[in-house]
Amino acid sequence: MNAVEQDHRAFIEPYRRLIDQALAHAGGTHTFEDVLDQILLGEMLFWPGDKSCMVTEIVQYPRKRGMHVFLAAGDLDEIKAMEPDLRLLAQKLKCDAISLAGRRGWVRALKDIGFNEGHAIVVKNL
């Protein structure tokens, strides 16, 4: 690991508890180390706050491009306050939408800042 990666790891490490809390609801798809690796590779972007954090990724579909909030954890008001910066970057990156998949409570929590329920995700664990 080079010095830049060590600096990034040290910067993100204080948010580990929040990230682990969010990942506990993600169905076992990622560990903290997996997320950290994707951030270090530039495949995901880390959004720190004082009491919260988000991790986003760009998803390129055949006909659309989206910024997906892979995880968000911590203070809801602070997370919502990050939306203008999220929107600005998404627009600069030519995204058509911003999405977030998570527990049903996010639908109600983000409605006042313009998010609407778009899809339902149904999972059958094997």
Between CA 117 and CA 99 the distance in angstroms is: 9
- The tokens describing 51, both together, are 């009491």
Is the pLDDT at 120 greater than 80? The verdict is: no
pLDDT given at position 1: 64
In a domain, 9, yes or no: yes
What is the rounded average pLDDT of the residues 25-30?
A: 90
Between CA 89 and CA 92 the distance in angstroms is: 5
Alpha carbon distances (Å) from 63 to 15, 22, 66, 69, 96 = 35, 30, 10, 19, 10
What is the rounded average pLDDT of the residues 64-89?
A: 96
Burial call 20-33: b when 16+ CB within 10 Å, e when fewer:
eebbeeeeeebebe
In a domain, 69, yes or no: yes
Instruction: Compute how many other C-beta atoms are within 10 angstroms of the C-beta atom of residue 85.
Output: 10
What is the rounded average pLDDT of the residues 101-122?
A: 87
Q: Which domain holds residue 32?
A: 3-113
The model's pLDDT over 28-73, given as tens digits with 9 standing for 90+, comes to: 999 999 999 999 999 999 999 999 999 999 999 999 999 999 999 9
Tally of domains in the chain = 1
Strand intervals (E) in 1-126: 45-48, 52-60, 65-74, 97-100
pTM: 0.90
pLDDT given at position 95: 97
The model's pLDDT over 87-102, given as tens digits with 9 standing for 90+, comes to: 999 999 999 999 998 8
Average pLDDT, the chain: 92
CATH at 11: 3.40.630.30
In a domain, 118, yes or no: no
